[in-house]
A and B are shown apart, each in its own frame.
Chain A
Amino acid sequence: MIEVTNIHKSFDDKHVLKGISTVFESGKTNLIIGTSGSGKTVFIKCMIGLFDIDQGDITYDGRSLNKMDKKAKKQLRTDIGMLFQGSALFDSMTVQENVMFPLDMFTHQNYKEKINRVNEVLERVNLVGANDKFPSEISGGMMKRVGIARAIVLKPKYLFCDEPNSGLDPKTSLTIDALISEITEEYKITTIINTHDMNSVMGMGQKIVFLRDGYKNWEGNSQEIITSGNNELQDFIFASEFLKQLKKGAGI
């Protein structure tokens, strides 16, 4: 479980996060939604410690990020897996080397153990046989899957995904969403996804936090989101004419 309490973050004069508090539970897919510039990416980068927060606290299963020394933070980072918007695969390494990289860095396993684990996670993300390909030789969807494989290879407790569907076609997006949901349940991890893909919101939003101008504007789940009386949230969800017509037709 990750608990966020009253966090603030500014860049020079720009106050990006304005007192956000929420709880992300284990074994659930937690979604952060909001328009571009609402602070989603900064929020996620504060949670994983890439940005220091100005005020407030973030706790990982009761362990405060603020109070952790360097060693504890390093240990925590091995418990975190992250899938980046652009996958962030290392260009100079093959798929196998990319996935094996965290094992090389943080375990004392021998090569056979490492290769077994790499093949296991590649099989889990349906990428059997792609070991020797370079990132430039595979599709966007495959790159996301390699990113997921690299993120889960150390069996993390927390999985962060920054816009996992960005740049993908709707069908591949659904595959990636399904994969993330399955992995979350299978490994009982706390998954936090930053997205503005409405298919993801409706399909996997066990907990949804809606950010607007750096504030937490609303939180709930995918069942509650449609019927919420929050006007800003409704404007965000039903932004397209198509969805507005659907809403009208459904009489919501």
Chain B
Amino acid sequence: MYWRELMRQMYEIGVGSLTIVAVISIFIGAVTAVQFAYQLQDSFVPQYYIGFIVRSSMLIELAPTFSCLVLAGKVGSNIASELGSMRITEQIDALQIMGVNTTSYLVAPKILASIIVIPLLIIISAALGMLGGLLASLANGVTFTVFMKGMMSWFDPFNVVMMLVKATVFAFLLTSVACYHGFFVEGGSLGVGKASTRAVVQGSILILVADYVIAQLMT
């Protein structure tokens, strides 16, 4: 294993994606809170359910799926275009001639780094989503105590397990699809663009299919 390359990839995927994941997570949590509060209008369902719904939605579905769909766009296209450019500029050929195992050096660190880092990003995403939900609720007149009561109610640790399983599977899918399309690119810079698009589209579809399969198997 090429540890230095693994560390570089972990930094690029993790730190490089932190801002976008943070921004979308806060807004997803906020929108979930606002829209659920809207559904509760003129109903007898107590307001603390907002906190419960925001927490559960973020853990089970929104944090892993939404964030990984965004990461399929950002990380997936980045990996496919990086490897694609290396292929068309003969950098991969140069590595092969030197006797470097290109799969171990270029592909394995990317997949391993994403499997390590993306679940951590998803944990941050879930936490920030809940924070976004809290802030939106406070802005709409729900008190901190009421929101937190919902957040603390009926917590099932299995939801966290499911979130991490989803994050790990999605991370593997989005990076391996991107590596495949980038590594075997053909046709110059046009080919790199096509590989990048294919990586994002196929990665996103596979994430949604895997989401359904995991939901069926784990619930």
Contacts and interface: CB of A to CB of B under 8 A. Distances in A.
Binding partners A and B? yes
A82 B94 contact: yes
B94 A84 contact: yes
Nearest to A73: B99
B89 A77 contact: no
Nearest to B96: A50
Interface size class of B (residues with CB under 8 A): 10 to 19
B99 A106 contact: yes
B98 A102 contact: yes
B39 interface: no
Interface string A61-89: 00000000000011001101010111011
Contacts of A250: none
Interface string B74-106: 000000000001100111011011111000000
A187 interface: no
Contacts of B93: 45, 50, 84, 88
A77 B100 CA distance: 9
A77 B91 contact: no
A40 to B, nearest CB: 15
A239 interface: no
A88 B99 contact: no
Contacts of A91: 85-86, 89, 91
Nearest to A82: B97
A85 B90 contact: yes
Contacts of A84: 90, 93-94
Interface in B158-211: none
Interface in A82-135: 82, 84-86, 88-92, 101-102, 105-106
A245 B92 CA distance: 44
Given A50-B93, A84-B94, A88-B94, A77 B99 contact: yes
Contacts of A161: none
A102 B99 CA distance: 9
A154 to B, nearest CB: 9
Contacts of B91: 88-91
A48 interface: yes
Nearest to B8: A92
A84 B93 CA distance: 9
Interface in B44-98: 85-86, 89-91, 93-94, 96-98
Given A88-B89, A101-B98, A102-B98, 17 more contacts: A45-B93, A50-B93, A73-B99, A74-B99, A77-B99, A78-B98, A78-B99, A84-B90, A86-B90, A88-B90, A88-B91, A90-B86, A91-B85, A91-B86, A91-B89, A92-B8, A106-B98
Q: Which 7 A-B pairs have the closest CB atoms?
A: A77-B99, A88-B90, A88-B94, A74-B99, A84-B90, A82-B97, A88-B91
